[in-house]
Structure formats: C-alpha cells, structure tokens
Amino acid sequence: MTLLSSMLEFNKNFVENKDYEQYATSKVPAMKAVLLTCMDTRLQELSTKALGLKNGDVKTVKNAGATITHPYGSTMRSLLVGIYALGAEEIIIMGHKDCGMGSLDVEKVKSTMKDRGIKQEVMDIIIHSGIDVDHFLGGFNDVYENVQENVKLVYNHPLFDRSVPVHGLVIEPHTGEVELLVNGYDHVEK
C-alpha cells in the first residue's frame, strides 16, 4: 500500500467514525493571532503545545525556516490576510534552533536536483532570467538574526498596520523551551 493510499484509507475511517468532531472550531483564531513557524517535523505539534495553544487558537503559517522570502510573497500575504480578513490582532514569528535552513548547503541541493533530472540548461535559463538561485534556495546563518529580520520586514511593510504587535521567538526543538527576542508590545504604534 502506498503512503497516499494508507492516508486515504485512514481518512475514510476518520470521517465515518466522526473523529473530526473533536477538531471543530471557528475559522477565526480564538487567541486572535497568527503564528509563523518552520515546517520542521519536530515542530508539528510542539510549536503550539509549548505555547499552550490548542486547535483553533491561532492561524499557523509554516515554511522552510519560518522566513519571509519576499515582501509580496505568499507568507507575507498570509500574515496580512490573517490580520485584515481573519480577525488576528497579533503576529508571532517563531524560528528554532538546529534549523535545517541554518545549515543548508545550496551546492548540495543543486547537485541533488541535477541527480534527480533537473538539467543544467534549465538552471541556466532561470539564472539568465534574473533569478539568484543560490539566494532563492539559501537559508540563513543565525536563527536569532533571521527572526529579528523577519519581524522588521513585517513592521516595515507598506501594507502593515503598525498598531499590531509582532513578536519574535526562538524555540528549542528538543525541549520546547522558548526564548523571547522581540516583544511586539514594545514596538506598536498607537
């Protein structure tokens, strides 16, 4: 049985048994916040449980490195929609120690792409189109700096309401211990 087949079989039973009922919640976050965190598997549940959050408390946005890579990309859009359309009143950006994006070897990633069939001519076309592939695939050197830079990016976005607090946190993925880097309440504009 394939992974997809086993998941779909589980889902069939999940629906038939009405297991979904325990997860019923509003589409508006109860705690009125949006959490941007990393897609790291260790944070699947830990990122919310370590903060005392349950299903429906926050809108959760996840990506590689909890990083806003473009001011008009999908991550920033999700944060803005959370604020302006879905009732969130705060943003939490939470990176984590031992993040794969903090030690990503871009040359190895590109080599793996080539090994899996991506032709050099495709890479050349992308590069000649003005895309910095190394930057696009790259990570960061320091999770603390990354979180702080992302907080600044949100605050400085021309579409952002600066009366909304943006908090910066770093979580330890082995223990769940959270460090406060930026207390957004200290930076809001009235």
Residue 172 lies in a domain: yes
Indicate if 52 and 120 belong to the same structural domain. no
Which residues line the annotated binding site? 38, 40, 96, 99
Question: What is the pTM for the complete model shown?
Answer: 0.92
Q: Contact 176/50 with Cβ under 8 angstroms? A: yes
- For 32-78, what is each residue's pLDDT tens digit? 999 999 999 999 999 999 999 999 999 999 999 999 999 999 999 99
Which residues line the annotated binding site for Zn(2+)? 38, 40, 96, 99
d(CA 143, CA 101): 9
Residue % of the chain over a pLDDT of 90: 96
Q: Contact 105/76 with Cβ under 8 angstroms? A: no
Residue 177 lies in a domain: yes
Q: Report the sign of the C-alpha dihedral through residues 115, 121, 122, 123, in that order.
A: positive
Beta bridge mates, 168 = 93, 182
Indicate if 124 and 146 belong to the same structural domain. no
CATH of the domain at 93: 3.40.1050.10
* H or E stretch covering 179: strand 178-182
Indicate if 147 and 132 belong to the same structural domain. no
Backbone φ, ψ for residue 168 (5° rounding): -120, 125
Q: Count structural domains, the chain.
A: 2
List the structure tokens of 79: 């944060």
